Amino acid sequence: MSTTNSEIGYVSPKTQVRWIPVIGLEVHCQLKTWTKLFCGCRNEFGATPNSRTCPVCTAQPGALPVLNREALELALRTALALGASVAPTSKFDRKNYFYCDLPKGYQISQFDQPYCTGGGITLESGKRVRLTRIHLEEDAGKAIHDRGDTTLVDLNRAGVPLIESVSEADMQTSQEAFEYLTALKEILQYVGASDCDMEKGSLRCDVNISVRPEGEPWRTKVELKNLNSFRNVQASIEFEIRRQVEAYESGDPAQFPVQETRLFDAEKGVTRSMRRKEDAHDYRYFPEPDLPPITVSAERLDRLRSALPELPTARRARYQKDFGLSAYDAGVLTADRALSEFFETVARLSKLPKEASNWISNELLRNLNDPLLPIRSIDELPFRPHDMSLLLGMLDKGEISGQAGRKVLRAMFETGKSPKDLVASLGLEQVNDSAALDDWCREALVGKDKIIADVRAGKTKAVGALVGPVMKASKGSANPQVVQEILLRLIAEMPS
């Protein structure tokens, strides 16, 4: 990592001094297991408050935790996909603090012996952001403070498995932080570890950030919390860089950044002090006596490694090589594993990979993002890849026009019916050669003497103005290429 690169850093508008941001990220990710980390309660978002609880996750006397094997496997898969090393032996520790959403008075976490160290993510620029460690821990419950002077507690989340990935402070711009998060999220989704839904809190991110003048040692870091979207991560970093530089440049030590936690106010785009940072020893970590150490054999790791799916980077390269897609299209299609698998099935069934790429990354995603439709993800589609490949086949054979194809796809989203049925019921068969086409073209020529004269004078492009009306008369079922040919033929046949 170069720190003398003249492109990197923030140049103060006041002093022209180049300040280098130092950014590290801590990402909490809920694992997509059937049950919680240490008990048999369902790990489920949105259930009736406190309905997914038992003596273990509500800390009744005498209740003992048992490690969920599925959670450990997902955590291990993530470590392997990130090229990290897994410790043959690691242990759990108690992180002690008091809060109403933490019934035990401590969180079971990993302190000095995490299950995973090292690894990292390579950004598009080729820069490597190293991971310090990943550890496994349980989530706390949820305290709801927005009911006047009452606080409600929901323990459904208490004991949900989490992995916390801590990066080295290798990032220097908000864009790098965004890229790192995007790549990490993709990997977590590809290995099936998490759905990474930030709205449901299954992916949460904290930022550690400081600034220093180029060539000088690191200064005090500040922690940013409450970042519930990647956009807010970027915006809070950008605000914080400016705030810290201005504070140092004020020359008043009382204004200098202090070690603290700050919250991001997304509406105002500013960060505010929440609390001075506790030191790690305030948590009085000590080994969890009720759980044995985690041991992971080399054989188990080999088995998990060989079962890993193809990861996004490898998949993007294959799409470019095998399907001739651009880097951009390959990126769009692989950003989501379900989308990527949908595309591959459609490409294989239709044998039209380029068309599949175009239609899926443009038309299909447009409908998925349309707020007027209730479907938000590939998993909710009311039709199968097979239907999409039939649609592409009809387009390829010229049986329907592109415009009709878009209507059919929309109707597939709305009704889930097969494209063949929809083409018939909507009357969208492309009319390539029929008396009807000739009639519509003759009508379009009536009174268009100027255009006819232009075409006769050699300006054949002038006929383009008449294609639209014919398409409209055919309700989009005509083939525009054929319409143009008929118009030119009719003009040529006219007596001069």
Q: How many CB atoms lie within 10 A of CB 125?
A: 9
Does 169 engage in binding with Zn ion (CB under 5 A)? no
One-letter amino acid for residue 315 of the chain? R
- State whether residue 245 is helix, strand or coil: helix
- Span near Zn ion by CB under 5 A; candidates 39-47, 172-180, 200-208, 422-430: 39-47
Helical residues (DSSP H) of 416-463, grouped into ranges: 419-426, 435-445, 449-456
Q: To which residue do tokens 């759990």 refer? A: 92
Query: 455-474: which residues touch Zn ion (CB under 5 A)?
Result: none
CB nearer to Zn ion: give 40 or 398. 40
CB nearer to Zn ion: give 66 or 280. 66
User: From the CB of 188, what's the least distance to Zn ion, in Å?
Assistant: 24
Whole-number Å distance between alpha carbons of 216 and 141: 42
Q: Return the residue of 22, 23, 39, 462 that touches Zn ion, per CB under 5 A.
A: 39
CB nearer to Zn ion: give 39 or 378. 39
Helical residues (DSSP H) of 137-262, grouped into ranges: 174-190, 230-249
CB nearer to Zn ion: give 63 or 490. 63
Token couple for 318: 């294959």
User: From the CB of 37, what's the least distance to Zn ion, in Å?
Assistant: 9
Query: 44-63: which residues touch Zn ion (CB under 5 A)?
Result: 54, 56-57
Which residues, in sequence order, are CB contacts of 384 under 8 Å at separation 6+?
none
User: From the CB of 27, what's the least distance to Zn ion, in Å?
Assistant: 25
Beta strands in 87-149 (DSSP E): 89-90, 93-96, 106-109, 116-117, 120-122, 128-138, 142-147
Does 41 engage in binding with Zn ion (CB under 5 A)? yes
Helical residues (DSSP H) of 32-134, grouped into ranges: 69-81
User: From the CB of 155, what's the least distance to Zn ion, in Å?
Assistant: 8
CB nearer to Zn ion: give 40 or 468. 40
User: From the CB of 218, what's the least distance to Zn ion, in Å?
Assistant: 42
CB nearer to Zn ion: give 59 or 488. 59
Cα–Cα nearest to 32, from 47, 45, 13: 45
User: From the CB of 36, what's the least distance to Zn ion, in Å?
Assistant: 5
CB nearer to Zn ion: give 25 or 57. 57
User: From the CB of 291, what's the least distance to Zn ion, in Å?
Assistant: 15
Q: 66 — phi, psi (to 5°)?
A: -130, 130
Whole-number Å distance between alpha carbons of 24 and 197: 21
| Interacting residues toward Zn ion by CB under 5 A | 39, 41, 54, 56-57
